[in-house]
Chain A
Amino acid sequence: MTPTLMPRTFGLALSLVALAASPLAAQLHPSTMLGEVCAPTFEAAPLRLLRQLSLDVRGRIPTVEESQRLLDAADPDAELASMREEMFAGPEFARTTMEYHRGLLWTSLDRSLVALDGGDRRLSRDRGRDIWFVNNRKSRYRGNNAFLCDDVPHTTFDAEGRPLPMRQIEDGRCTANRRGGICDIDGTVMVAPYWDPENPIKVCAFDANDVLTRPDGQACSFADNSQFCGCGPNLRDCIPGFSGNGAGDTHARALQAGFTEEPLRLIQSVVSEGRSYLEVFRTRETFVNGPVAHYYRYNSGRNLNQAQTTTQVAYDMRIPEENLAGLAATDTASWRRIERGPEHAGVLTTPGYLVRFASDRARANRFYTAFYCDPFVPQSDGIPAEEENPPQNLRERNGCADCHQELEPAASHWGRWRNGGSVGYFDPADISFREPYEPCICEGGRCNRNFCNAYFVTPQNSDGMELTRYQGHPIAAAWLEEDDDASDYANVETGPRALVDMPNEVRRVAECAVRQLAEHLYGRTVDAGDFMWLAEQANAFDGDGDAENADGTFDWQALFERLVTDERYLGTR
């Protein structure tokens, strides 16, 4: 494809300006750099190759000093080899590794934070009065959504410090929590928020309540919906939403950025430590920074019963506090390696992946496309006209079966991970894929529990044979299959790591990794003429397919180095 004129023009101009402004411009003149060589060729001039390497390995052009060093070298080829080693050893290659994989994972959570704060703990700001509050809890605190706190200092508290109403309003709309037409109105308090402790903000007193127990003695928590529980000390149990709120927005973006960067950090660590690339899809390790650590400390960890209060189930992963100690909520720069539960599978179970790809099928499709190089493509003449009484099972439906015969087993690897923009895991101890979940067997034709309708087969989201056979089962359990050779149920229980546990799967990952990186570096499609070469490169990457755990195999950096020293790279311009 031909890119647009503007970026190309701009890029060319920038490069030339940088070059022309240099005192070495005369020596580094393109005619000198390029000689009389025009693409395609296998005889790249050293300076041109230096520039190409630097852009690919470090993401920037060489410095004037580096160019001079090459010009001055008695043996330019040897000097270039030395400089190449330095590039791979330098910190910029780590960034290159992350950015390359950002392209494969399509990592972006721009519009997805809603799933991570669960909605009912999101702080908003009344801009006119500069007062913070939790929009989704207005009704619970005061009796009706129409009422917010007064803009006066709150002065009435019970003996333990819980705010009591400053005044009451008689209004027929005030019916929440059996209030009988009476709404409770609070004032405001000043709070130093955890995301910007130096600058206190004005918060409605009910929302700012920092007493950690209810009047009946039960503990308040992130998952608690009681009117007697607020956002806790320094508002720690709540998350500021995006709404032009200065430091609040900054924290929300930092949290978003943290979850976005997590899988890329994970991959970068695997690569830089020379570990098997397969760890990217298998390891229980991951990385957290300050905002993400705060999230795990105070905004995560609902149990199954608590999670059922909303469809937007917050991430229920628990990280021991000792693993997070010392990471302040405002510390975006420090990243710490932590261990997750055995259900995890590298990047494939990070929030950045699960939220970005909101359905099990989307998750499988991205994995197959990016890491097997095998996208799901319908038959060339397209989906046919709808048949009479089309089967609900997509593996059997005319036109759908082409993809879904393979896609459904692939998607089943994420069967226990929640979807729809939320992140969470249905523990086998709580949820079976072979038996219905009793609370979600909704008799009488309607199911009023949002949680059930979101994740389980109910009359609200299903009918016909599917409802008859699977009512109360997880939606992901519908139409699973098993025979002597394969079991979707086994995929569910093993999780995404099972996508890289068989020799043929490992080989697919190896070949695809070579293909993807080669096409990235060479700027062209790997075609039939490259197949032998591709196989050789894949052999070098996976140790001929039989030495997965041997030293030096699945070393992605080594693969990168091989590809930029291959003659195909020298012919790239």
Chain B
Amino acid sequence: MTTFSRRDLMRGFLGGAAALSLGPAAHLMAQGAPQRRFVSLYFNGGWDVILGPDPRDPGRTYEALHTGTEYLAPEWQTPIPVTIGGQSTIIGPTMRSLVRHMDVFTLFRGVNMNTVAHPTGRAYVNTFQAPAGVVPRGDSLGTKMAAGTDPEAFVLPNMSIGMPTFNESLDPALTGTRIGRATQMRDLLVPRGRTLPAGVQALLDDARRAERSCVDARYDGALPLELTDGARARLTAAVERDLGAAFNLGNDPDLMARYGIVNANDGGDPAVVAATVARLFQTGLSTSVSAQLQGGLDDHGNEWATDQPRDLAEAFDALAVLLDELRADDPQLENTMVVCHSEFARTPRINGNRGRDHWFSNSILAFGGSLRRGVFGETVEESLGLLSIDPVSGRPSESGEVILPERIGATLLAAQGLDPYAFRTTPLDAWLA
């Protein structure tokens, strides 16, 4: 294992690395089998599951569901038959590029988001714990997932791109580092090129020592200033290693072609986001990455027919290439889990503006990890309504229960070998591989 860990960097293991010139990004890549990796990808705005993970037959009519087929371009009209974990089902045409990853796919349908308000739903899928109003409760899912690793082994163990990150109860060293857009990774790892005058620095050091003496006794664990120093040291090491070069995606024509990136400076492009996520693992910087993969999905008007399928397909295409890259060194994703979610779904009926509004019955996508492959859950065929689901078979059952995100979160955590206690519910044990 030759990933450059924080510990290694501190010891000067790569002390000569600073002399490396800006070469091909491959020079910066970690080698060997991956440590455990987790990716959380958020689709902002509320996705239309009928065009994606929970489609319907365009050839028939439904009591309380309108497929909208007549408004869609031909390429978005017809779902795709697939087999997931031995189960035959259909997925929406926007997910076409993901067909090659069905062998590592676990699809949760009919998840009750319990809200149709954006901020509440966003808070919910951030932590997978019911928020207090619009205020998130608990730790971000990405933070929880990072907890299973040694934070000392990573420079940026828990990265968050375009999403808030929370750490309420875990080791402060796991607290997420947040950037607004994927392209800011370049800025994060670039030397600032400015040092303070010696006298000012001395005063600062004195001030820091004085502050420490004041608050030391109040803390049981690591002191805030130690954490600050640790964060600085980690970033300094990454800068000296010139890892920022790995995030200049435009310098890698092969990567640009693989992801279909037109403008490497477009931090909102799902392909740029996905490639950046891949690079965070390939450089060994992170073990958990959360990112907003796509935005602008809140299509209430007639733009739904054109924008929603296009935007979903862009994101799923990028996801498919990301999965290709993650499977290069972990073919069955045994050490890797990728989860996709949105704050809620969109209404089964088309509204008066030829768009779709907010709907609570949602889907969650998971690739890899120690999960049983297949389709868990279902929605009412005629209305996309919620159903009670048997937690063992994953099929509708009157004695079952409506599945909340907490239950999925607990399952995902358990599948990574972590304690799901924080969710105050039990995992879907039958769905752990």
Q: Which residues of A contact B (CB under 8 A)?
A: 1-2, 4-6, 8-9, 12, 16-17, 19-21, 25, 29-31, 34, 36-39, 111, 311, 358, 362, 365, 369, 375-378, 380, 382-386, 390, 420-421, 450, 452-456, 458, 460-461, 475
Contact = CB atoms under 8 A, between A and B. Distances in A.
Given A9-B228, A362-B117, A460 B352 contact: yes
B117 A365 contact: yes
Contact of B177 (A6, A376, A475): A6
Nearest to A34: B214
Contacts of B203: 19-20, 25
Contacts of A452: 352
A91 to B, nearest CB: 30
A475 B352 CA distance: 10
A477 B293 CA distance: 39
A31 B353 contact: no
Contacts of B130: 380
Q: Secondary structure of the B side of the interface?
A: loop
B101 interface: no
Interface stretch (B314-322, B363-371, B383-391): B383-391
Nearest to B196: A17
B172 interface: yes
B386 A383 contact: yes
A30 B210 contact: yes
Interface stretch (B92-100, B163-171, B248-256, B257-265): B163-171
A20 B383 CA distance: 65
Given A2-B166, A362-B117, A420-B300, A383 B402 contact: yes
B82 to A, nearest CB: 26
A461 B385 CA distance: 18
Contact of A382 (B112, B167, B218): B112
B402 A382 contact: yes
A390 B63 CA distance: 12
B133 A375 contact: yes
Given A2-B172, A386-B380, A38 B177 contact: no
27 contacts: A1-B166, A1-B167, A4-B160, A4-B175, A6-B231, A9-B232, A12-B228, A16-B204, A16-B208, A20-B207, A29-B207, A30-B211, A31-B213, A36-B214, A38-B217, A111-B296, A375-B134, A376-B117, A382-B402, A385-B388, A386-B380, A421-B300, A453-B352, A453-B354, A454-B352, A456-B352, A461-B351
B218 A38 contact: yes
A386 B389 CA distance: 12
B383 A5 contact: no
Contact of A29 (B133, B210, B215): B210
Contacts of B114: 378, 382-383
A164 B208 CA distance: 76
B176 interface: yes
Given A2-B167, A4-B165, A31 B210 contact: yes
A451 B104 CA distance: 47
A280 B233 CA distance: 49
Interface residues of B, number: 53
B360 interface: yes
B301 A420 contact: yes
Nearest to B388: A385
B133 A369 contact: yes
Given A16-B204, A16-B208, A454-B353, A385 B387 contact: yes
Given A4-B160, A384-B402, A460-B352, 19 more contacts: A2-B172, A2-B175, A4-B176, A9-B232, A16-B208, A17-B200, A17-B204, A30-B211, A31-B213, A362-B117, A375-B133, A376-B117, A382-B112, A383-B112, A385-B385, A385-B402, A386-B380, A386-B386, A475-B352
B299 to A, nearest CB: 11
B136 interface: yes
Most buried by A among B196, B210, B300, B353: B353
Contacts of A8: 228
Contacts of B210: 29-31
Interface string B139-171: 000000000000000000000100001111000
A369 to B, nearest CB: 6
Interface string B375-397: 00000100101111000000000
B206 interface: yes
A12 B349 CA distance: 51
Contacts of B388: 385
Contact of B115 (A38, A378, A458): A378
B227 interface: yes
Contacts of A21: 200
Nearest to A358: B300
B25 interface: no
A380 B176 CA distance: 29
Contacts of B383: 386, 390
Interface in B187-241: 196, 200, 203-204, 206-208, 210-211, 213-215, 217-218, 227-228, 231-232
A470 to B, nearest CB: 13
B279 interface: no
Interface string B110-129: 00101101000000000000
B301 A5 contact: no
A365 B119 CA distance: 11
B344 to A, nearest CB: 11
Contact of B353 (A9, A362, A365, A420): A420
Given A378-B115, A454-B353, A5 B228 contact: yes
B30 interface: no
Contacts of B301: 311, 420-421
B319 to A, nearest CB: 24
A30 B178 contact: no
Nearest to A379: B114
Contacts of B175: 2, 4-5
Contacts of A111: 296
Given A5-B231, A36-B214, A362-B117, A377 B133 contact: yes
A16 B353 contact: no
A30 B214 contact: yes
A378 B349 CA distance: 23
Contacts of B206: 29
Contacts of A17: 196, 200, 204
A4 B178 contact: yes
B404 interface: yes
Nearest to B396: A385
A254 B120 CA distance: 31
A458 B352 contact: yes
Most buried by B among A19, A30, A34, A382: A382
Nearest to A461: B352
Contacts of B352: 452-456, 458, 460-461, 475
Contacts of B165: 4
Interface in B173-187: 175-178
A390 B386 contact: no
Contact of B168 (A2, A311, A362, A454): A2
A384 B402 CA distance: 6
Contacts of B228: 5, 8-9, 12
A450 B353 CA distance: 7
B353 A369 contact: no
A304 to B, nearest CB: 17
Instruction: Give the 3 A-B residue pairs with the shortest CB-CB distance, closest first.
Output: A386-B385, A461-B352, A453-B352
A382 B207 CA distance: 51
Contacts of A421: 300-301
B123 to A, nearest CB: 11
A111 B300 CA distance: 13
Contacts of A4: 160, 165, 175-178
A236 to B, nearest CB: 28
Contacts of A450: 353
A111 B296 CA distance: 9
A354 B114 CA distance: 25
A20 B208 CA distance: 11
B422 to A, nearest CB: 14
Contacts of A365: 117
